Amino acid sequence: MSGDSTRCVKAVAGESVPGSPMQRGPVFAAPYQLSAEEGTETDTYARASNPGWRDLESALATLEGASGALVVGSGMSAVTVALRTLLTAGDTVIVPADGYYQVRAYARERLEPMGITVHEVTTSDMASESTATLLASAEGTTVVVAETPANPSLDVVDLRVLSQRCRDAGAVLVVDNTTATPLGQQPLQLGADVVVASGTKVLSGHSDLLMGYVAVSDAEFLAGMERERALSGTVLGPFETWLAHRSLGTAGLRFERQCANAQAVAGMLAAHPSAHAVRYPGLAGDPSHTVASEQMRRFGGLVSFELGSAEQFHRFVAGSELLVSATSFGGIHTTVDRRARWGDPVPDGFARLSCGIEDTDDLLADLEQALSAL
């Protein structure tokens, strides 16, 4: 049974106990009752462990093909927990120059002052010979952070090549799988050591919570990260944990529709005179299509393109009945974000469109209408 919806439903299924609820509800507790036989308890305090986390972590590990997973308070928390665990003074980190901008900011503002050398490499160069040369000369432990497809450029890293380069250099490969999700690709099966992702987006999918997670190929990585989570307090609350677990069961259905919508929207935009520089890994003419086709099962729900100006972008949004202007993505509504407002090095009219689960024909008609208003 390998269908996405079947995988999702099976991943969140609880133990079958007649007379009990099909799924556990949220566990609202901080301290747990202690035993006179000290040290025998499974849970003592919710910031260290709790049954809600275990249910969700088990489901995420199953979907990522991981030996274990760890849930945290946000996608950015997943990145910082992983990097703080893996790096110390004298080490080296390589981050995407064109991925999520907060990762670069964290590396420069927090890691560099700790004595960690920071390099920025574009996604298109991440698996290149020049990166191999950089890896060979790097000092200390080297961690490579790859985001694929990158947000918002949608360039794709060849993870098989990059993971081999990391193994050759003794480096640790961390892959941000937020855009693709484990339903689109499984980086650990392609050679990555660690996956980080924002569950705020596609997997929870209803734009109503913040969540992140780390998944690993080797359980030894997880122990240090679990300790970092406990010490830093970057934890996921009980209600958010339950919401995410509940939502995960429908992720396959939602992602299937989002990907189908994105494929149709990308094709329409590529043929439209008002849209330029359309990027979607599922388009046959996209620069990333060949690599994406070899490592991705689905191409995701994000499409990027350029309009003539920021003013045109705002007219485009105003001319639509379905579009919501929002900076997160992966929910049931189609959203669009002008990335230049956040400081991304893109043109003023650059738009990142996140396809929702609306009927494809309705979405296409609405976008055509919005483009005609330009």
Q: What is the DSSP string of 57-89?
A: HHHHHHHHT-SEEEEESSHHHHHHHHHHHH--T
One domain, residues 164 and 309: no
One domain, residues 241 and 283: no
Please check whether residue 149 is in contact with residue 184, taking contact to mean a CB–CB distance below 8 angstroms.
Answer: no
Domain boundary among 209, 224, 248: 248
One domain, residues 163 and 76: yes
One domain, residues 176 and 274: no
One domain, residues 53 and 150: yes
Domain boundary among 248, 281, 304: 248
Cα separation, 343 vs 335, whole angstroms: 19
pLDDT at 96: 97
Listed residue (189, 181, 173) closest to 256, CA to CA: 181
Task: Provide the residue-wise pLDDT of the chain in tens; the chain has 374 residues.
Answer: 579 999 998 988 877 778 777 777 888 888 989 999 998 989 889 899 999 999 999 999 999 999 999 999 999 999 999 999 999 999 999 999 999 999 999 999 999 999 999 999 999 999 999 999 999 999 999 999 999 999 999 999 999 999 999 999 999 999 999 999 999 999 999 999 999 999 999 999 999 999 999 999 998 899 999 999 999 999 999 999 999 999 999 999 999 999 999 999 999 999 999 999 999 999 999 999 999 999 999 999 999 999 999 999 999 999 999 999 999 999 999 999 999 999 888 999 999 999 999 999 999 999 999 999 88
pLDDT at 238: 95
pLDDT at 323: 97
Please check whether residue 304 is in contact with residue 150, taking contact to mean a CB–CB distance below 8 angstroms.
Answer: no
CA angle 47-51-52, nearest 5°? Answer: 80
Please check whether residue 302 is in contact with residue 329, taking contact to mean a CB–CB distance below 8 angstroms.
Answer: yes
pLDDT at 79: 98
Residue 20 sits in a domain whose CATH number is 3.40.640.10
pLDDT at 182: 98
Q: How many CB atoms lie within 10 A of CB 311?
A: 12
pLDDT at 25: 82
Range of the domain at 348: 251-372
Cα separation, 201 vs 311, whole angstroms: 27
Domain boundary among 248, 277, 295: 248
Cα separation, 184 vs 201, whole angstroms: 14
DSSP notation for 322-367: S-EE-S---SSS-EEEEGGGGT-SS-TTEEEEE--SS-HHHHHHHH
One domain, residues 148 and 106: yes
pLDDT at 373: 84
Please check whether residue 123 is in contact with residue 96, taking contact to mean a CB–CB distance below 8 angstroms.
Answer: yes
Phi/psi at 329 (5° precision): -150, 175
One domain, residues 159 and 197: yes
One domain, residues 79 and 194: yes
pLDDT at 22: 76
One domain, residues 238 and 269: no
One domain, residues 141 and 275: no
pLDDT at 150: 97
Q: In terms of DSSP bridges, do strands 68-72 and 117-121 run parallel, antiparallel, or are they unpaired?
A: unpaired
Q: In terms of DSSP bridges, do strands 350-354 and 302-306 run parallel, antiparallel, or are they unpaired?
A: antiparallel
Please check whether residue 288 is in contact with residue 156, taking contact to mean a CB–CB distance below 8 angstroms.
Answer: yes
One domain, residues 320 and 278: yes
SS3 content of the chain, % helix, strand, coil (to 5): 40, 15, 45
Q: For the chain, how many structural domains are there in total?
A: 2
Cα separation, 290 vs 306, whole angstroms: 23
Tokens of 38: 């000290």
Write down how long the chain is: 374
Reported for 206-210, long-range contacts at CB under 8 A and 24+ positions apart, including other chains, are 206/243, 206/247, 206/331, 206/332, 207/326, 207/328, 207/331, 207/332, 207/333, 208/243, 209/240, 209/243, 209/244, 210/73, 210/74, 210/240
Residue 338 sits in a domain whose CATH number is 3.90.1150.10
pLDDT at 1: 52
One domain, residues 9 and 103: yes
